[in-house]
């Protein structure tokens, strides 16, 4: 069985681009336990149901599933606990001011291991799409796929 290298770990939220119009992008670290980072390095995490919220001028991610690390025994973590995101104060203030606008939310789009070995979460300030916007994005996606087929 081939193990994934740390740098190969990229866990994406594929539904984010379909459900939301992505605006501002932020990269942040996370406060993790030892067993959590080991599970992420094995690519045993999911951010499909995850979302971010602001509480007491701190940004948190909720519902991010990091599977239990089976070698951790007693010191294991709870898979869906809230995790604090590490951002600069100026970035948090920008996020808070933009979240006050109606329809905006903060969603995670990519979880990866950087070159230094730290787990990073890429989050986007996003606005929800209407049904007709989703249909339009599907039409453009199909059109580009059809053009690529004809070029080959």
Q: Are 84 and 74 in contact (CB under 8 A)?
A: no
Q: How far apart are CA 116 and CA 69, in angstroms?
A: 22
Q: How far apart are CA 30 and CA 117, in angstroms?
A: 13
Residue ranges and CATH numbers for the domains of the chain are 6-151 (2.40.280.10)
**Residue 1: pLDDT above 50?**
no
Work out the pLDDT band at 96, boundaries 50, 70, 90: very high
**What pLDDT digit, counting tens, does each position of 11-65 carry?**
898 888 888 889 999 999 999 888 888 888 888 888 999 999 999 999 999 999 8
Q: How far apart are CA 37 and CA 70, in angstroms?
A: 13
**What pLDDT digit, counting tens, does each position of 56-73 carry?**
999 999 999 888 887 777
């Amino acid at each position: 069985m081939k193990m994934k290298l740390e740098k190969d770990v990229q866990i994406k939220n594929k539904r984010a681009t379909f459900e939301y119009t992505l605006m501002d992008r932020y990269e942040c670290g996370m406060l993790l336990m030892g067993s959590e980072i080991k599970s992420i390095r094995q690519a045993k995490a999911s951010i499909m149901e995850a979302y971010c919220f602001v509480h007491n001028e701190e940004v948190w991610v909720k519902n991010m599933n990091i599977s239990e690390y089976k070698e951790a025994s007693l010191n294991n973590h709870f898979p869906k606990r809230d995790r604090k995101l590490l951002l600069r104060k100026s970035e948090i203030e920008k996020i808070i001011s933009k979240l006050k606008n109606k329809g905006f939310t903060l969603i995670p789009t990519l979880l990866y291991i950087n070159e230094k070995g730290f787990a990073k979460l890429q989050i986007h300030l996003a606005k929800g799409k209407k049904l007709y916007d989703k249909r339009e994005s599907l039409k453009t996606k199909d059109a580009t796929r059809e053009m690529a087929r004809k070029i080959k």
